[in-house]
Amino acid sequence: MKLLFRLIVLSLIHTSCAQDEKEYVVTIKTEYGDMIGILYDETPRHKANFIKLAKEHYYDGTLFHRVMKGFMIQGGDPDSKTVKPGEALGNGGPGYTIPAEFNPNFFHEKGAIAAARLNDPVNPKKESSGSQFYIVQGQVLSEVEVDDLKIDQQKLGEALRIFVQNPNHRGLRDTLTQLQENNEIDAFQKKVFGLVPMLEKETHIKIIRDVSDEKRKAYTTSGGAPFLDDQYTVFGKIIKGLEIIDKIAQLHTDNTDRPVEDFAMTVSVKEMSKKKIEQEYNYTFPKN
């Protein structure tokens, strides 16, 4: 009887601790409304850095300086606090970068918060900007388009380059070259996709990747930008205020994708219990 009582008490203590577990909530205030987000524990460096900058009011007064309808909205450049009309933005930051923290569980669904970065030629390790981030709007995909995600295009290109360099595959290389020169795109694609098993076997490069049910559902309902997956670090998501992304994405922009009329953001973080976050924002944290 005493053992049973002890087990019940331990169970209640464990349940209470779980309910009281704390998490940070991010609030991004704009004149178009507020976006509420959470940050992922699995990307600890990005999470800690964003919280630090928000607490220091680093983002307050910065602009969403790059807006692309059907794609994303980007901000966090400190230079945007004092920028003049027409001046280019996107190069400012705190003077450091953050190592990439790719996680297959986090992808570019609508509302994903991800780190901006310099392009591969000057940033081969894909390190993130110290402050600039973007929020995905994206587009809704069809089931066929989601099926295409199973092919890692970057790995496919890498494996194909290695494969055609082999003298034994000269005939195949010539065939593919001819299809390209004749602009027979569909035939070229069909031929290349048919080679995938052989490419994986010979080059030992994994081309086929899994598309989870969660990812499939997200991309075919709310949408996203899957071509950015595994290329940029996703470290959080908007859990309330997705419609604000749409409002901002509608803004008129110049030829550098900067909104013609400047508007600033204010970013704050607040610690709350996970239970309260779930109740207040109708969000369910993944089970460990």
50/135 same-domain check: yes
Q: What is the pLDDT of residues 236-281, one digit of tens each?
A: 999 999 999 999 999 999 999 999 999 999 999 999 999 999 999 9
Q: Are residues 182 and 86 in the same domain?
A: no
Residue 16 scores a pLDDT above 50: no
Q: Does 66 lie in the same domain as 126?
A: yes
Q: Is residue 208 part of a domain?
A: no
Residue 185 belongs to what domain range? 151-203
Residue 7 belongs to a domain: no
Residues 133 and 243 reside in one and the same domain: yes
On whether residue 96 sits in a domain, the answer given is yes
Work out the pLDDT band at 6, boundaries 50, 70, 90. Answer: low
Residue 182 lies in a domain: yes
Residues 125 and 58 both lie in one domain: yes
How crowded is residue 149: how many other Cβ atoms within 10 Å of its Cβ?
Answer: 19
CATH code at 248?
2.40.100.10
Query: For residue 40, what are its two tokens?
Result: 């992922």
Query: Are residues 262 and 163 located together in one domain of the fold?
Result: no
Residues 190 and 226 in one domain: no
Residues 97 and 196 placed together within one structural domain of the fold: no
Which range, 19-33, 82-96, 106-120, has the best average confidence (pLDDT)?
Answer: 106-120
Residue 1 lies in a domain: no
Q: Are residues 136 and 160 in the same domain?
A: no
Same domain flag for 41 and 167 = no
| Interval 155-174: pLDDT, tens | 999 999 999 999 999 999 99
Question: Is 232 found in the same domain as 132?
Answer: yes
